[in-house]
Each structure stands twice: as structure tokens, then as C-alpha cells.
Amino acid sequence: MTASIVAIHGLWMNGMEMALLRRRLRDTLGWACSQFSYRSVGCGLAHNVDRLKQFIDAQPADQVHIVAHSLGGVLALQMLLKYPDTKVGRVVCLGSPLLGSRAASRLLSRGWGRQLIGRTLREALFDHPLGRCDAATEVAVIAGTTSFGLGRLIMRLDHPNDGVVTSAETQLPGLAGHIEMRVNHFGLVLSSAVAEQGAHFLRTGRFSVPQTLSSRT
């Protein structure tokens, strides 16, 4: 069975910031790694979910794994909810607010924040929130604990956090694994240690370091 990886970027990004991560995953696992890009602000959740499904279906590999940063992880799980019978193997979410985002909620309470955040995040986190991870696909999260990022300019975040998303906001019930690493939100896509753990989970279905205690329920 052949395997490949699809990388999914987060809010306001286009995937260029994930180039180093894609290369590391490709070098470690020997699998092709392609980038899915989408309009996180201008397009809605349903449109981007359908485009992601089409992108995955178009991959030549028999099984497609996903590595997604921030909002990208929420988009991936929303896609699996709508299309459970896909060829997706395992999913690694990097700092994804699977249980919502207080910082995003604070922004939405301000008139300009609604336009800044856009449709996909608003619909994925607040209009159609994830309840638990019920997909047959194994899903894991790597959360950052270095509190440096834009979220701290919006409000005081509970610890531990990566400067944008708190660890608690990433701990969706039903995850196959959850670990915390000493990086900030953007650093999750730049860290070689994060790439190593992500590759280990994609290959084996588990991380090589102890998982976060509270995710074991």
C-alpha cells in the first residue's frame, strides 16, 4: 500500500510557511508530501471541506495522511465528519483549537474582528463545533507551551498555551494521542522536534514521548 501526506495550513496562511515541515516529513518517511491551500477568510467551511475532499481524492497514493496546523486541523476533522469514507490514514494536528478558541471568540465580539477572522474559522469553531473525535481515523495533537503570539495581545490566555491557542482548547475527547512541546504557535511548523514526533505518529500511530495526562480520558 502506498502512502502520502497532505499538509494543511492555518488562518491567513498559504502553505509556504509549511515548506520546511513538508521537507522534513518527506525526508523522514520517504512519502510524497503535498500542500493543500485554501481561502480561510473569503470562503466558507462547506466550500473548503469539499475542496479538501477533492484534493485528497486526487492524490495517487492508496492512503493519505494529514498534517495540519491550527485552523487546518479543524478543517480536516470537519471534512472527516462530512466524508467519513475517505482514504485518510492518520491525522496530526499542530496547535489546532479543536474545542474552540477564546481568543477568536473575543475577536468576534468586536465589529472589525468578524471580517478579520473570516468565514471558515467562524463556521468551523462556533456554528458547527466539534464535539468529540468519532472518526475511524486516528487523530493526534501536538500542542505548544511557549506563550508567545498574537493571542496574548487579545486577552490573557490560560496556561499552558502557545501564544494563540491553549492546550486545553486542543484536547478534543477521543484523540489517539496528545503531547505538549516547548514551542509557540508558529514554531509548531518550524520545529524539527515537532516534525520528528509528527512523523513517528504517522508511521506508528503513537508518539515516542509520554502523552499529556489529561488526554487519556
* Structural domain contains residue 191: yes
Round to whole Å and give the CA distance between 74 and 150.
Answer: 19
* Structural domain contains residue 127: yes
Q: Please say whether the beta carbons of 69 and 96 come within 8 A.
A: yes
According to the model, what pLDDT value does residue 151 have? 57
Low-confidence residues in the chain, pLDDT < 50: 215-217
* Structural domain contains residue 215: no
CATH number of domain containing 168: 3.40.50.1820
According to the model, what pLDDT value does residue 109 have? 79
Q: Enumerate the H helices of the chain as residue ranges.
A: 19-29, 45-57, 71-82, 102-108, 111-117, 119-122, 151-154, 192-204
According to the model, what pLDDT value does residue 161 have? 94
Structural domain that includes position 181: 3-205
According to the model, what pLDDT value does residue 148 have? 81
* Structural domain contains residue 212: no
According to the model, what pLDDT value does residue 145 have? 96
Q: Please say whether the beta carbons of 70 and 118 come within 8 A.
A: no
Round to whole Å and give the CA distance between 72 and 114.
Answer: 19
pLDDT in tens, 149-160: 665 557 678 899
Q: Kindly give, in sequence order, each residue whose CB lies less than 8 Å from that of residue 41, ignoring residues fewer than 6 positions away.
A: 11, 12, 116, 117, 118, 119, 120
Task: Give 127's DSSP letter.
Answer: I
* Structural domain contains residue 216: no
Q: Please say whether the beta carbons of 151 and 103 come within 8 A.
A: yes
Note if the bond before 97 is cis, omega within 30 degrees.
no
Task: Give 166's DSSP letter.
Answer: B
Task: Give 140's DSSP letter.
Answer: E
* Structural domain contains residue 214: no
According to the model, what pLDDT value does residue 215 have? 42
According to the model, what pLDDT value does residue 216 have? 40
Q: Kindly give, in sequence order, each residue whose CB lies less than 8 Å from that of residue 19, ignoring residues fewer than 6 positions away.
A: none
Residue 26 — φ and ψ, nearest 5°? Answer: -65, -45
According to the model, what pLDDT value does residue 135 have? 67
- Nearest-Å Rg of the Cα atoms of the chain is 16
* Structural domain contains residue 114: yes
How many domains does one find in the chain?
A: 1
According to the model, what pLDDT value does residue 107 have? 83
* Structural domain contains residue 186: yes
Round to whole Å and give the CA distance between 165 and 143.
Answer: 8
